[in-house]
Structure 1
């Protein structure tokens, strides 16, 4: 098994070794304290925690000051290169202006050659700065890894959760040194200078080469991005900076919703062996069809209930039967997928086929129970747990993030397509085998046949992945240091003369560690008690927020047809198109948050403000008659505000949850993805149940009797978030 100290020894930068975190000293301090934990008082324990925290502070200060010193030297180097670039350009311009026309014709080639050589040399110098900057990023990443591991070791040996207390107190300080390590604003500025100057030099070269053809670079605004694509060092720095700061992109931001652990490096032959294109596509198709299946009945479920001679508010039970039974099926499929994917996938599809046809023929048999049981069977067929486990275990590391994002996008598109399809099917009216096919039964018929098609594709095209690779990973022998050496891009670009001279030896250097704890995967939870220990305060808060936003969204969507018909006399088709339009806003919202908001503001700030806007959306949705009349503008504006805010909140909430959850919560049956799915499913079921329960008072009171409890839930969640605000880092 690979040891962390050995890994550092193989991948460190020799001339910087005295500036690394003193892992050996910190580990020795922990071991000395752990040896006598049974004989110390509570006061001594607090004193040790304070002393150890100060020791960590001194190590972080050493790292931060070194990083700042290196940034200053790199900035000085860039300033020198910029002055050389300006001087060279001025000299060439002066020389060319001094020439007569004939002389310019004769000597033009010489001047162009000199300019080209100067640009080549300067470009290489800028690349050298970039390579040194990349080494600095790798140095920071290695030290942040050491900090995480020493905090984990402290918790394991001492039995006190120092990580939450230490990080929350340090990161939230106005002069936080940890923020200097994690944010790296200065490094971003250095990278911008390097990339801009490389672009300028390359564009000058291209402009000179194409001048005879009257080629205009200014007519091609996309050229700078193409130039950067030809600069591997810029791409390497961007990758390292993204890995260090976890800066959100649209793909990574969307992928966080699944709470899938970060992909690990895999051998190329393993990736090729595990990759099966059609299995991944069928996995995506499953989640798309399931979300269509869930929401396609929303616009017409109240009409179906009326035709079966029950109150229209029974639509809450009709819609909610699916998430209620899915609470059970998620656990079963999560366990079953430990042994097979094909078998539970076929079984779940058969349940969905049966459930949808039962939903379709319930009108023919005039049975509301047949309708509810059909929806319950559809919920038992929900294979989201299988889909997620398949992504985690059998999608190659290089495709995992994009596959996860595609999974979430497929879910969002399914949510939008479901109600829209219900609106399109609104005018159907014929019989199939004696059973009516109309606006209320057509969703069941359509989904039944779609699932039959999907079942055929699964049987023909889905490939059961081999599980030998997992066993090999679990039972692998200790790897040779040459095999586990990290990819060090800067090793190929090491400068002949380092920016800092090699200093003296440090007895507490991490590089002297020979035998430290092995770097191995933490085992997933084996029971409920272990699970509860891993549910730290931030995780509990974020799961509570997830429950609230799903509850509020479900109330809005499930009662939309009833509210719109009561107050505005909308048809089911119009209500379906409105809900479908709301669903289409999900992806643009994710793009806006990922590319702009999330990279400018802290996650916890966005969460708190989003919760407030959800609350405003709920307040706006309440009917205030007879004070003033409930109108279309109030309903649509409040619905859009509530739905959009809930989706912003969901994206940022899941992104932060992926950062604060432990590695044990990312794997196994009781993983954080499973917990969030259960929380969201329970919220949907309870929201739909509330609609039916309050509907007994009459449809006229439905809106306020559902929105007021929702507002109370939102306010309670805001209070919980505020009390634990400084733990959300």
Structure 2
């Protein structure tokens, strides 16, 4: 489109220059013959105008017919999100994300020594680290389904499972069992509630704050990935309390178990469950909005176009007759 306009502009300008400088040439062979009413130029300009009108019409259709209204937040959806929004509950979801990422990476510096101390090969370290991610794949399924009915109960269950998993991870040293170590890491993976955290942000945070909440979710994940290995460097000690050993291998498990216990108490006291009746009313409104948008598109755009085409065909038929 721009190329055609440039060609037309160049031809028109050159013709205008030739007309302005007519009779100012040194030789008679330098002056071309001019055709003042050039039909080719007029036809090109008419084609450009038609193409511009067609492009503008297609852009209009693209903006109004193919952008569904239910993709944008409706006033009822914003009001429901405002009623469901609770800052402390959002903060607890972000803390859950942070603690889980710390829990994932805090064992990385010492996992190989821990495996060797239990009589396993050094390559088992990869299984110890990766087993948590494998279990997380399965946990995301039932946590996503569970979050349709509640947000508090999956978070409480997740904290309890992570508390048990980290305790087993720490006890594996005194039990001298690599199996207990792997079971503990599997429990930690089954306690991943990241699906609930993301679902809470998308359902319970108002649209004007949702981008900030997602930025906080990503920042909490990145901060947890960075703090996990750094915290492991602080556990360079070795002592016993009764029959429990606390050293650089077991302290990550004990510290994370204590962290999840504190988080569980904080969650139970301050988390506010969003009202479920509002959540149930959002989806019918969204479906109604989607059907209304489709009906509007069909009636405002499709039918007038068809009617205009039929009327034009009828007029052409009358003219021929």
TM-score (norm 2): 0.69
Three-state SS of the structure 1 residue aligned to 2:179 is helix
Paired residue for 1:285? Answer: 95
Deviations 1:207-228 (A, max 9, x none): xxxxxxxxxxxxxxxxxxxxxx
Among candidates 513, 516, 535, match of residue 300 of structure 2: 513
Distance 1:352 1:433, change over 3 A: farther
Deviations 1:47-102 (A, max 9, x none): xxxxxxxxxx98762358xxxxxxxxxxxxxxxxxxxxxxxxxxxxxxxxxxxxxx
Distance 1:361 1:60, change over 3 A: farther
Mapped to 1, the partners of 2:212 and 2:61 lie a distance apart of 28
Alignment of 1:317 with 2:104, yes or no, is no
Among candidates 396, 405, 408, match of residue 206 of structure 2: 396
Mapped to 2, the partners of 1:263 and 1:439 lie a distance apart of 51
Alignment of 1:145 with 2:63, yes or no, is yes
- How is 1:207-226 mapped onto 2 (pairs within 5 angstroms)? none
Matched positions, count: 245
Residue segments in structure 1 that go unaligned for 5+ positions in a row: 1-56, 65-139, 151-260, 485-509, 517-729
Alignment of 1:380 with 2:190, yes or no, is yes
Mapped to 2, the partners of 1:328 and 1:274 lie a distance apart of 28
Paired residue for 2:114? Answer: 304
Paired residue for 1:62? Answer: 56
Among candidates 406, 425, 445, match of residue 216 of structure 2: 406
Among candidates 150, 157, 166, match of residue 340 of structure 1: 150
Mapped to 1, the partners of 2:282 and 2:299 lie a distance apart of 29
Quote the offset at 1:430 in angstroms.
1.5
Structure with more relative contact order (C-alpha pairs < 8 Å, separation 6 or more): 2
Quote the offset at 1:355 in angstroms.
0.3
Distance 1:458 1:433, change over 3 A: farther
- How is 1:93-132 mapped onto 2 (pairs within 5 angstroms)? none
Paired residue for 1:264? Answer: 73
> 4+ residue runs of structure 1 moved beyond 4 angstroms?
57-60
Deviations 1:225-264 (A, max 9, x none): xxxxxxxxxxxxxxxxxxxxxxxxxxxxxxxxxxxx9762
Distance 1:263 1:408, change over 3 A: farther
- How is 1:632-671 mapped onto 2 (pairs within 5 angstroms)? none
Among candidates 452, 460, 464, match of residue 269 of structure 2: 460
Mapped to 2, the partners of 1:354 and 1:376 lie a distance apart of 11
Deviations 1:412-467 (A, max 9, x none): 00000000111122x12112342111111110001000000010011001111112
Quick check: 1:288–1:410 contact (8 Å CA) kept in 2? Answer: yes
Among candidates 235, 246, 250, match of residue 441 of structure 1: 250
Deviations 1:353-407 (A, max 9, x none): 0000100110001000000000000000000111111111111111111101110
Distance 1:344 1:303, change over 3 A: same
Quick check: 1:263–1:397 contact (8 Å CA) kept in 2? Answer: no
Three-state SS of the structure 2 residue aligned to 1:404 is helix
Mapped to 1, the partners of 2:115 and 2:85 lie a distance apart of 46
Residue segments in structure 2 that go unaligned for 5+ positions in a row: 1-50, 304-321
Three-state SS of the structure 2 residue aligned to 1:364 is helix
Among candidates 328, 331, 336, match of residue 141 of structure 2: 331
TM-score (norm 1): 0.32
Three-state SS of the structure 1 residue aligned to 2:174 is coil
- Larger C-alpha radius of gyration, 1 or 2? 2
Quote the offset at 1:149 in angstroms.
5.2
Three-state SS of the structure 2 residue aligned to 1:436 is strand
Q: CA RMSD in A?
A: 2.9
Mapped to 2, the partners of 1:361 and 1:470 lie a distance apart of 42
Paired residue for 1:196? Answer: none
Alignment of 1:475 with 2:293, yes or no, is no
Quick check: 2:94–2:216 contact (8 Å CA) kept in 1? Answer: yes
Mapped to 2, the partners of 1:342 and 1:512 lie a distance apart of 45
Quick check: 1:285–1:410 contact (8 Å CA) kept in 2? Answer: yes
- How is 1:69-84 mapped onto 2 (pairs within 5 angstroms)? none
